[in-house]
Every structure is written in structure tokens, then in C-alpha cells.
Structure 1
Amino acid sequence: MYADAIDTDERPFVLIWEVTQACELACKHCRAEAEPQRHPDELTTAEGKQLLDEAASFGDDQLVVLSGGDPLARDDVPELVEYGTDQGLQMTMTPSGTNSLTPDRIQGLADSGLRRMAVSLDGASAATHDEFRQETGSFEQTIEAARHAKRAGLPLQINTTVCGETIEELPAIRDLVADLGAVLWSVFFLVPVGRGRVLDPISPECAERVMEWLCSVQSDAPFGIKTTEAPHYRRVALQQQTDSEAGPKPDGIGRRTGITAGDGFAFVSHTGELFPSGFLAESAGNVRDESLVKLYRNADLFEELRDPDALQGKCGACPYRNVCGGSRSRAYAHTGDPLESDPLCSFVPEEYDGPLPASWDGATSQVSGD
């Protein structure tokens, strides 16, 4: 089932469950500002299984991503993966690149039914990646984990953050993604929350160039590409007259077109709060007290985020608002209003003469290389 075949008023294409905020790393961009210790009020194993039961009631093959922090800070993760798989869920995971990712644990996750493992590379070498992740050895541990995942038969996804500190690394990371045999490169455009507030943002013009470059990479890459918190990648692709049938490649879990916060995407925090995304921390309620399904379908915040006509500023006037809609998380981070314009988008609709998003003096680097 493809994302564009799902009625996102009724169910998310992606449900993220932040099983813990505990992590051994102190990454520069960390949304959760993770710490080594687990929070005492995390959802328990029993509560987690109840959450997975609720997720399964959305419909067949609901995609669930176990995230963190580092999910492997919890010993019950293989049990949760197996339980979710038995309920008919597509269980995937984004562990941290630490020594917790041993070959035995990766094989155990595969045996439990995990459908995909995603690891992060924010540099193409130990020097650049480890500096970003604030942990010596993280690069080598991540590379080894990626190779073990392939040996265990787990499809591999690579996640990369785009900001001033990483942008020059993108061509080399692209080559590494291909060398590792990944099925998908997920390119995350920084949202200034958590520790990420101190990183260097890129300018809207630079973001446009990166997306144009990603379109060119996608044309012959052996892996799919998706952007996170940059739905205007779809607008860029359309403007480049990308053929709709040969556009973004299916990636093994059904994603062909993008999704946005609250519209095809939902995030359950480690303590059960339901957010439109992990980068838009405005709660619609807590799954300990209310039905996940009812909250997603009926909460006012989620209903507003699924209405392209509710968008404001140039996003509201944009002819691409039904295929893009801008990052609601970034709009919220900059203005406190998730319906405002995404300040990372440089596109101004014809005849629009209203206010433009506040800009910033970000990096002006551009991707170089073949």
C-alpha cells in the first residue's frame, strides 16, 4: 500500500513511537535533548502493547517506527517488535549508532520481525560524523551496524541532517548510502528545536539548490530519496517536470509521496503525549487517557493541519499547497503558529503581495560535486 493511497484523515502513514529519550550520544541536532538515563514515566511494556493494539486498529499494515533517544536503551524492544508484528504492523526502528547495536541484537530484531532499520550518517568520515554526534567511534559503529543489518536481511535506511555544518558532506554521504546498499536516503532539513537551535541553518535559496540536487541524484540513484520537514521537495520535483509515474521510487514500505505533521504523520512521546510530529511539540492529548485513533482523527489540531485551506501567508496562497503545504513544524518553531508559512521555502506565488516569513542569516553554501 502506497502513502498516496491512504486516507490521511483516517490514519497516519507513519506512526512514530518515541519509546525512550535515553541515549548515550549527545548529538548536536537532537530534538529530544537526550540524556543517558531513562525517564521514570515512560510507557511501560504493557502500555506499549496497548498502544500497538490501537495502532493496528487504524488498518492493515500500519507502519510504526520505534525511535528515541536510543530505542535499544530499553530491553523490551525485541518483545515489542514481535508483538507489533503479530498484530499485523510494519515494525521499523531508528537506533542510535552506539555499541548497543551489536550483531546479536540486530539479528534478534530481525528474528522478531523488524521490517527495516534506519541509522544516521551526518558526515562521510569519522572526523565529521563523530564531531556532529559528539561521540568518538560513532561513525565506525554506525557503519558496522549498517553492514550487520544487511547480513541479517534487514532493509537499510540512512538518515542525514541538512544544516550549515553538514551540507558540504552531502555528495560523499550520497556515495556512502549507495555503497552500503541502503534502500532509502532520508534527508532531514533542520528544524530549530532542542539542541538543534544552536546549529547553523541554511538559507531558503540554499535549500532550493539542495532539493534540485536531490532531484538529480534521484534520477539515477539505486536507492529512494525522501525529505523530512521539507515537503517543498515535491514542489521542486514538479517544477522540474518530473514524470509522475517515474517520480519518487517506492522504498519497500510503501512510501511514494510525502506526508506532513498531523497529515499522515503522528508522534507518540515517551510519556504518551500525541504530537503532530516530534518537532511540533503541541499535544493533542495522551494515549494513556484517550484513544490514539480518536485523537488522530478528531483532535482540532490534527484536523486543522490536514486542511490546506487553513494555511496562512504565502503557504496558504501557494498553488502547490495540496502537494506540499510546507513544514508545519518549522513554522511552529519560528512563529509559534503551525499554520504559518514555512520560512525555509523560497517560492513566492505569483500575484501574492502579503507578508513574507521572517528570514535568517543562514549558511549560503551549496552542494558541490557530481
Structure 2
Amino acid sequence: MQPKHIDTDERPFVLIWEVTQACDLACKHCRAEAQPRRHPDELTTEEGKQLLDEARRFGDGQLVVLSGGDPLYRDDTLELVEYGVDRGLRMTLTPSGTTSLTADRIQALANAGLRRMALSIDGGSAETHDAFRKETGSFEQTVTAARAAREAGLPLQVNTTVCAETVDELPEIRELVADLGAVLWSVFFLVPVGRGQVLDPISPDRAERVMEWLTSVSSEAPFGIKTTEAPHYRRVAIQQQRSATGGDEARDGPPDGIGRRTGITAGDGFAFVSHTGNVYPSGFLPEAAGNVRERDLVDIYRESPLFEDLRDPDALRGKCGACEYRQVCGGSRSRAYAYTGDPLASDPLCAYVPDGYDGPLPEQSLSD
């Protein structure tokens, strides 16, 4: 099924399963606060296969991301990929850039039918990336793995975190994404959860400028661009297109390299299963709607009040609720939750104020 035909009331476009929180890295932004030990209550191999069976019930070609921590910390990851592929799922993986990510393992994953591998690059050089990842050699290992993926014929996605420490690196990273032959650049705007609470975000005005730049990059880059936890990228792109054409033709936002035009936000086209089976709207919105050990995943996604509220743009409050772009944007529900405890509040990273809106504005506690 084409992404544009997915009814997000019925199924997520993206289902992430955090198979483990264990990882050899201690990255500054890590949502999971990963550590080099596996949790004793992780979903077992059999429970994981049952989860994949449930994911199959969402419909043909459900996209599943095996994430972490480092998913390769588990010795059954290849088995889980093979099982998901056999069930007709589109299996992808986000491993850490460590010595465990060898060319042989990448080739085995490609042979198993993995659809895409995503690697994180947060600096345009070894010095800046390794400082952010707090691991000397991480940059070289990640680039080596990216090249091995290309040799294996495995499509590559590059993930980048945007915060005060990394924002000036974006032009260099953009060049590296192209050089590595990536098919998609996923640009994640920091949400202060986990270790990321100690990092400084960029300001709303700086975020606006970054999104304007990303829009220009997307028009000529050999790869797709999507933003994570920054759905107002679509609003920025629509405004730029309308300005260029002098009309209002661009109503849905730009495609993001994987076929999505309307907003995919926490709980609305997106679901996250933790290493212990808790189901969240997003890994960055840690409010559980249930646990797959106790309730069916499909039912949790379709019927839990939290997910239903997040799929209703008219339930949004404050500036986001009054915004004419709420159908294609809706703001980051995760960031709203992180700053206010209310997942339906306004996103404090968005600088846009709708015409005629004179209500309360989000707390502007973000800074460059």
C-alpha cells in the first residue's frame, strides 16, 4: 500500500520496536539513556515474534523499525528480521555505529530482506561527531558501515539531531549524506527527554531558518528529506511554495522521500513499543497507552483514548489548536508534553502565530 493511502486512524505508517536499551555508546542526546547491559524484562524472541504477528494485522507492508539502544546487542536480531520479512512486513533497522556493525553483518541483514538501515551522523567531521557521541572512532565506524551498506545494496538513511551543538554542522552533514549515497536524510529536532535534557535546543526563530534551508536543499538534493519532531517543516515548505507561485496550490506539504505528504506525528501514524512492551505514541512521549503483554497492539493503537486524542487535530489546544496548518502539521506532541506535561498543548519550537490569534503563547524557554 502506498503511504498516501494509509488511514492513520487504522494503522501507523511507522511502528518502532525498541528491541533493547543496551548500547556501547553514551550519546549526549540519547532518549533511552542507553547503557551496556540488557534489561532482564525485555521482550523475548517469542514475544517479539508475537508482536510482529500483531503488527501484520495492521495490513500489507506495515513498516517496522527495529531500534534501541543498539538492536544488534541482541543475538536474535537477524532472526527477527527474517521472521518479519516472512510475514510480509517491511523491516528496517537503526543500529549504532560501533565495531559490532561489520560488513558481514550488514550483508547478512541485506540477504535477510532488510529494506533499509538508518545510521546516525551528528557532525560533519570525526571530531564533532565523536564528541557528540562520546566515543572516539564512532564517526569512522559509522561511515565505514554506511559504505558497506551501499556495497550490500542496502538503502541507507542518515539520522541527524539538531540542537545548539550540532546546528552549525548541518551543511557539512548534508554533503556527507550525499557522498554516502543515502536515500533519505531524517533531521530530528531535539526533544528534551533522556540524556537530551542536558542539551540546549535551538530557538524557534533559528528552527524556522533551518527549515527554510532544508526546503531549499530538498529541491536539489539527490536524497529525500524528512523531519522528526518538527512537523512544521511542512508548514514552512507550503508557505515558501505559495510565496513562489503567488497562490495556494501547495496544500499538503512536500513529499519526504518515502511518500508522506501529510503530517505523521506521535500517535497519528506513529507508534512506539518499548523494550519491555509498553506502547507509546512516540519514544519521545513517554506516556504509555498499554502493554503488548496485556493487550493487543492493534487495539491499543486504534482504541486507546490517548492515541485517539492525538489523532484529532481539533483537540489541540492554544496556538496549535487555532492554526490553519494543524491538519498538515499539528506540532510536535512530544515536545509539547516534555515542556508542559500536556501532549495536546502548543509546540514551543514553532515561531508561527496564526492570523488573528491573540491567545496564550507557549513558554519561550528555548534558546540558541
Amino acid in structure 2 at the alignment position of 1:349 = P
Distance in 2 of aligned mates of 1:311 and 1:194:
25
Indicate if the aligned counterparts of 1:225 and 1:248 stay in contact, CA closer than 8 A: no
Indicate if the aligned counterparts of 1:16 and 1:66 stay in contact, CA closer than 8 A: yes
Distance in 1 of aligned mates of 2:335 and 2:259:
26
Distance in 1 of aligned mates of 2:355 and 2:3:
30
Indicate if the aligned counterparts of 2:238 and 2:253 stay in contact, CA closer than 8 A: no
> What does residue range 204-243 of structure 1 map to in structure 2 within 5 Å?
204-241=204-241
Match of 2:264 in 1: 259
Indicate if the aligned counterparts of 2:98 and 2:138 stay in contact, CA closer than 8 A: yes
Indicate if the aligned counterparts of 2:235 and 2:253 stay in contact, CA closer than 8 A: no
Query: TM-score, with normalisation over the residues of structure 1?
Result: 0.96
> What does residue range 157-172 of structure 1 map to in structure 2 within 5 Å?
157-172=157-172
For residue 5 of structure 1, report the CA deviation from its aligned partner: 1.4
Give RMSD over aligned pairs: 1.3
Q: 1:362 to 1:52 in 2, by over 3 A?
A: same
Amino acid in structure 1 at the alignment position of 2:29 = H
Structure 2 gap segments, 5+ residues each = 243-248
Distance in 2 of aligned mates of 1:109 and 1:201:
35
Identity of aligned residues (%): 77
CA deviation map 1:217-250 (0-9, x unaligned): 0010000000000000000010011665996446
Match of 1:342 in 2: 347
For residue 255 of structure 1, report the CA deviation from its aligned partner: 3.6
Secondary structure of 1:261's partner? Answer: coil
Q: 1:321 to 1:258 in 2, by over 3 A?
A: closer
CA deviation map 1:309-335 (0-9, x unaligned): 000000000000000000000000000
1:313 counterpart (281, 295, 318): 318
Indicate if the aligned counterparts of 1:19 and 1:68 stay in contact, CA closer than 8 A: yes
Distance in 1 of aligned mates of 2:259 and 2:353:
32
CA deviation map 1:128-168 (0-9, x unaligned): 00000000000000000000001111000000000000000
> What does residue range 155-304 of structure 1 map to in structure 2 within 5 Å?
155-241=155-241, 244=250, 248-249=254-255, 251=257, 253-304=258-309
How many residue pairs match? The answer is 362
Secondary structure of 1:260's partner? Answer: coil
Distance in 1 of aligned mates of 2:253 and 2:333:
24
Runs of 4+ with deviation above 2 angstroms:
1-4, 242-251, 253-258
Indicate if the aligned counterparts of 2:238 and 2:252 stay in contact, CA closer than 8 A: no
Secondary structure of 1:278's partner? Answer: coil
Distance in 1 of aligned mates of 2:259 and 2:241:
23
Distance in 2 of aligned mates of 1:285 and 1:334:
23
Indicate if the aligned counterparts of 1:119 and 1:146 stay in contact, CA closer than 8 A: yes
Match of 1:117 in 2: 117
Amino acid in structure 2 at the alignment position of 1:330 = R
Structure 1 gap segments, 5+ residues each = 364-370
Distance in 2 of aligned mates of 1:361 and 1:170:
19
Q: 1:300 to 1:286 in 2, by over 3 A?
A: same
Query: TM-score, with normalisation over the residues of structure 2?
Result: 0.96
